[in-house]
Homo-oligomer: A and B are copies of this chain.
């Protein structure tokens, strides 16, 4: 889970994932969409790969990246499981406020 959450914790990487929803892309095509050096994008792709969120396939001199939905499902499952295992608390009764005004009896 650690590697997975780390992968998600960056706007560029999340954008890459969003882009890959519409179909596979080569490293170069991905890099062209960003105002960032190719080595930087390469590094982001590496982190996504480490997290198993994407798969890289070498085709000649190109490397095509595609989404791995299996892992996406795992993350989803983590959240669903989390939600379902939350213990419902008794409804907390509203606390009675300390009165700001009180009856004063002067002798």
Contact = CB atoms under 8 A, between A and B. Distances in A.
Contact of A89 (B23, B80, B82): B23
Chain A interface size range: 20 to 34
A34 B69 CA distance: 35
A1 to B, nearest CB: 7
Nearest to A8: B5
A6 B75 CA distance: 15
8 contacts: A8-B8, A18-B82, A21-B82, A21-B87, A23-B87, A66-B89, A69-B83, A75-B79
Interface of A: 1-2, 5-6, 8-9, 11, 14, 17-18, 21-24, 66-67, 69, 72-73, 75-76, 79-80, 82-83, 85-87, 89
